[in-house]
Structures are given as structure tokens and as C-alpha cells.
Amino acid sequence: MKQKLTLLLLLFTVLTVANCKKEPLLITGSETMHTLLNVVAAGYAKKNSNIEVTVQGGGSFEGIEKLFEAKTDIAASSRPLTPEEQTQFERKGRFENVLIGYDGIAVVVNPANSVSKLTLEQISKIFSGEIKDWSQVGGKPGPIHVVLRNDKSGTAAYFETHILRQRDLGEKEYQTFKKKEFTNDSKVVADNDEMADLIEKDTASVGFMGMGSAQIQNKGKVKAVPYSKTGKDPFVEPSIQNVSERKYKLSRGLYLFYLSDRGKKIDEFITYITSEEGQAMVLKSGYLRSTLSTVEVEAIKP
């Protein structure tokens, strides 16, 4: 009798564990969006205990590649798809493209760096290697050490086009500088945390990362430099309020890409992150919610 009870108890335990097994949901891609998605995933898990959300980085290009190879459920990207990528996904099934927020790109230096402002043209020349000393942009004399993200970064791709090659100054400037390249003397890192660690240790270094990463995840390690597109317009610090009021010009959209015919769990997560609750979490993570007209800047305060 005792053996039967033991066997029944064991069978009950096995069945209970089997029934409690969570269904996995994998999101891969943008390092800029990594912390944001972890925050949203934690909120989502409280309401959907049967789903286990895992967020992996690697960069926007990585997420797009993994989605195309069916190795992730959702791709996170800090850049829109190219027309070629859009066509490829539409051939694979019912493709969806969702804007979940906005992020300002911050040019970051060591907190001890005395440089207090930079224009687009100055930044372009720093990252191309034309400006090599901090004294050329109002800092103390000393060589500039450029730090870049790897080629899988959506932030790096945006920065290369809009700042390095000066697209934000107009089509004429872009056509003039569209072949400009990052300096060969730069150091390349895999993600924002590695960049922040390097800049914290090296007072001569400069890099770029998402506004949320600079001012929340890596606060104290780096300093975001106020930015002006032309030098004639005001120099503005990257912040949720300044992006929402269109004062800070260096900003871009944050996207989730997925195939909607690949399971109910994907649609339910997208519904959650675009809901009022999900968008409040986007804001609290240091990013601007996708519904610009109803931004609640006060929500970032503890």
C-alpha cells in the first residue's frame, strides 16, 4: 500500500511539473532595446504565467537575421527594414512591423571630460578622424579615442548615415559625404555596456548609444553631450522631454518585427507592449512611448 501511495505521489508530481512547463517566447536583436524589453517582459510574465519570455541581444541586424532564419519569435530593431528585407519577410508569411517607442541617440564621453557641447559637423569629423584632439572642440588638449559599435548594430547604422555622412543636414551634404567612413583608429565593441565600461576607464574616449542606455542603465559611467544640428540652433541634452518636444533632433524609432501566423503568444505580447500598461513601462525604461501625442513625462519620476 505504501509503495502504491509513493508511486501515485511520484506520478502526480511528474504530471504537475509537466503541466507547469512554460511556453517559450524568444525576442532577439537591438542592444538599445534590451533593458526596455526585459522590463516589459517582466510585467507581461505577471499576467501570463504560462509564457517564459527570453530577451537576447546581438544587435538589430542579428535579430532580423534570426527572424528570417526562424530562430527567434520576434526581432527587435532600432532601425526600419530595408525594402529588400521587407520583401523577403513578406514572402515568408504574414509579416508585421510595429513601432513601440522612440529613442534619442546620445554622444557620450567620460564624465571627467570638459567638453560641454558638440555640433553634427564636429561629431562627424571626430568619428571620421578629421578632428583628432579634444582641444579642437573646446576640451583640454589630448588625443581623442573613438569607440564604435559593431556592424550588427542598428544604432551604428543610423549614426553612420545621419551623423557621420551628415544626412540630417540635408540631401546636398549627404551626397557630398555619403562615402565617408569611420576612422580606422577606433575601438569596436559588441554592446552598450562594453562601450560604457571602456569610456568609464578612458577619459579620452568618445562613443554613442541610445539615450536610455546612457542616462539610465549606464548612468555615472558616461556623460551625454548636448547636441546641436548646426550650431546656430540651441544645444540640447538628450532626454525624454526634449525628444517628445522635438527639441532634441537626434532620435529614431524602435521596432518589433514578427510573422503573425506563428502563434498566439506572439500576438498577445505585441498587444501587451502596445497597451497603456506596456507603453508606461517603455517610458519608465528611459524611452519615449510610441504614442507621442500622449507622452506622460512625469511617469519617469520614481
Query: Which pLDDT tens digit goes with each residue over 246-282?
Result: 888 888 889 999 998 777 899 999 999 999 999 999 9
CATH topology classification for 103-251: D-Maltodextrin-Binding Protein; domain 2 (3.40.190)
Kindly state the DSSP code that residue 296 receives in the 8-state scheme.
-
33-78 confidence digits (pLDDT tens) = 998 999 999 999 888 888 899 999 899 999 999 999 999 999 999 9
- Determine the pLDDT at residue 301: 40
Could you report the per-residue pLDDT of 153-164, keeping only the tens digit for each? 888 999 999 999
At 167, the amino acid letter reads: R
Is residue 141 within 8 Å of residue 203, measured between CB atoms? no
pLDDT score recorded for residue 252: 85
Residue 129's contacts (CB-CB under 8 Å, 6 or more residues apart) are: 146, 183, 184, 185
pLDDT at res. 21? 74
Q: Which of the listed CATH numbers 3.90.550.10, 3.40.50.720, 3.40.190.10, 3.40.1350.10 matches domain 23-102+252-289?
A: 3.40.190.10
Residue type, 126: I
pLDDT of 151 reads: 85
Per-residue pLDDT band for 211 (boundaries 50, 70, 90) equals: confident
Identify any residues that bridge with 199 across adjacent strands, giving them in sequence order: none
User: Could you report how far apart the first and last alpha carbons of the chain are, in Å?
Assistant: 59
Collapsing DSSP to helix, strand or coil, 126 comes out as helix
Rounded to an integer, the average pLDDT of 106-134 is 97
Reported as a pLDDT band with limits 50, 70 and 90, residue 4 is low
Q: Which residues of the chain are in CATH 3.40.190.10 domains?
A: 23-102+252-289, 103-251
